[in-house]
Structure 1
Amino acid sequence: MKQQLDSIDRQLLALLQQDAETPLAVLAEAVHLSTTPCWRRVQRLRERGYITRQVALVDRQRVNLGVTVFVSVRTNQHRADWLERFRATVATIPEVVEFYRMAGEVDYLLRVVVPDIQAYDSVYQRLIRGVDLSDVSSSFAMEEIKFTTAVPLDYAD
């Protein structure tokens, strides 16, 4: 039986999405619980898979990765072996931070972070050496207007 999230669970998830290092006492106070029941709820959220991991978000500018490139890929290859080769190729390229199979005009979309255009060209060369692609189109982000790792919780069961 699927257990649903209540308003306290949603509040905890919202707070933890903002700062996963929020002390338990602060979380408990914010959701009007004592620390032990609050701790149990957070543990339950982990056990049930609502919290999958905790990470540190690194400032891309500080580590010289100020250029974001969205790479649209179209292919005429739709075989499982080709897709596995493509996945394996992308897995070896750390500059690719997101990778999606799409519906519509584009088959795959990648988000790449690099210091400059020359570094992107190196990524592009590694990509095309790994698999046959019909069309690769690159769009360079001019300005990051919104970036968040927090997901909306209004739809959660």
Structure 2
Amino acid sequence: MTTDEPLDRADRALMNSLQADADQSLQEVADACGLSTATAHRRIKRLKAKGYISRTVALADPKRSAAPQTAITEVKMGHLGEPARAAFRKAVAETPEVVQCWGVTGEIDYVLVLQLRDVAHYEEVVNGLLNATGVSTFRSYFVLRRVKFETALPF
């Protein structure tokens, strides 16, 4: 399998099975995909080596965490060059409350997903990160309920 070679049926089955529940035993994954455990293990190692599987994690429930409040923030940068944008991205990477950051097209430049303790914590993060040089405007939305949250990608 080269990086641009499409996945075959067995690899797609492995990807779908692992995305549904990575906590399964190797035997359960192999059985679900119609493979021997040795073959499943070899293929999973190859999928990791090729970057199809970037990491394996446990998904925590935000409501049970120390930062149960989710905020989604749109960020518009000023008319600044790449050094200012790079500095913003570095600050975002160093801010643990930012759990996702997406560079997007359209009228805004970035969408951030923040996990916060409460509104006072939000204010701290905004004052420290978004009021920094380079951000011209931002708008935040506090999540009332999670309607759909999926992490699996199609294979």
Identical counterparts, % of pairs: 36
Q: Deviations over 1:66-117 (max 9, x none)?
A: 2111111112233111012101211221010111111101111111111211
Q: How far 1:129 moved relative to its partner?
A: 4.6
Structure 2 distance, partners of 1:147, 1:64, is: 20
Q: Is the 8 Å Cα contact of residues 85 and 131 (structure 1) preserved in structure 2? A: no
**RMSD of the alignment, in Å?**
1.5
- Please, what TM-score do these two structures have when normalized by structure 1? 0.90
| Counterpart check, 1:24 vs 2:18 | no
> Does residue 69 in structure 1 map to residue 74 in structure 2?
no
Cα distance in 1, alignment partners of residues 49 and 41 from structure 2: 12
1:70–1:112 CA contact under 8 A, matched in 2: yes
In structure 1, the residue matched to 2:59 is 57
Amino acid at match of 2:69: V
Structure 1, unaligned stretches of length 5 or more?
none
Q: Are the equivalent residues in 2 in contact too, given 1:85–1:130 (CA < 8 A)?
A: no
What is the match of residue 152 of structure 2? Answer: 150
Q: Secondary structure at the match of 1:137?
A: strand
Deviation of the 1:119 alpha carbon: 0.8
Match in the other structure for 1:85: 87
Matched ranges for 1:1-157 at <5 A:
2-153=4-155
Deviates more, 1:35-44 or 1:57-66: 57-66
CA distance in 2, matches of 1:77, 1:54: 38
* Letter paired with 1:134: S
Aligned residue pairs: how many? 153
Residue 132 of structure 1: how far off its partner (Å): 3.0
Change (3 A) 1:45 1:128: closer
CA distance in 1, matches of 2:9, 2:17: 12
**Structure 2 residue ranges without an equivalent (≥5):** none
What letter corresponds to residue 25 of structure 1 in structure 2? Q
* 115-124 vs 52-61, which moves further: 52-61
CA deviation after TM superposition for structure 1 residue 22, in Å = 1.3
Work out whether residues 101 and 109 of structure 1, in 8 Å CA contact, stay in contact via their aligned partners in 2.
yes
Comparing 37-46 with 58-67, which one deviates more in the overlay? Answer: 58-67
